[in-house]
Amino acid sequence: MSTTTRTPQAERTRAMRQRLMEATVECLVERGWSGTSTTLVSQRAGVSRGAQLHHFPSKAALVLAAVEHVASLRGEELAAAAESMPSGSGRTRAVLGMLADHVTGPVFTAALELWVAARTDPTLLEAVAPLEQRMGRQLHRTTVELLGADDADPAQRELVQATLDLARGLGLATTITDDSARRERVLDRWATVLDAALHRRQETP
């Protein structure tokens, strides 16, 4: 009897926390760090203030939980996108497009808000830094695999890192203005550079 009683409650709690996390991400995207409040999040999530405060008694507690949630979402999005990459001559450009989408989507925007806030908040930085390092490693490994690069070759490794730096820079530019047209041209050009570099590597004895 006790198990039957606990299970629905656990499910309700999990669903409530999920709604609060989703609402926090939406608020970070729409209102930014400074405009995100526990009151706004609870309203967006359709959760009473009392229920929210029971799980997350402060904005700090709420945001620290959201840090893990955002990192998890980014990892899931990246893995799903990687599975849909085509083979053949257009693969490099498709990979670059996938990376650009990753750093211009709403989840990345939420992560960016957390990065900015963490710069001057030691508690938040302590939570954000290790997760970003983990995400960075996952992103690097995925890019190496998708491009068929040799991560043991310093030149190839630097090309992959330059690709990721380029993608992040393009993502930052998009937060200010619609930079999609220029972004497409830049990615077209960089795909040509990568294809030439990878082709030379493959043919070098």
Per-residue pLDDT tens, the chain, 205 aa: give them.
445 455 587 888 888 888 998 898 899 889 888 888 889 999 999 988 888 888 888 888 888 888 888 888 888 888 888 888 888 888 999 999 999 988 888 888 888 888 888 889 898 898 889 888 988 898 999 999 999 999 999 999 999 999 999 999 988 888 888 778 889 999 999 999 999 998 655 444 4
Q: Which residues contact 124 (CB under 8 A, 6 or more apart)?
A: 60, 63, 64, 67, 114, 117, 118
What is the C-alpha to C-alpha distance for residues 40 and 122, in angstroms, rounded to an integer? 24
Q: Which residues contact 121 (CB under 8 A, 6 or more apart)?
A: none
Report CA torsion sign: 205, 194, 77, 170: positive
Q: How many CA atoms lie within 13 A of 30 on its CB side?
A: 11
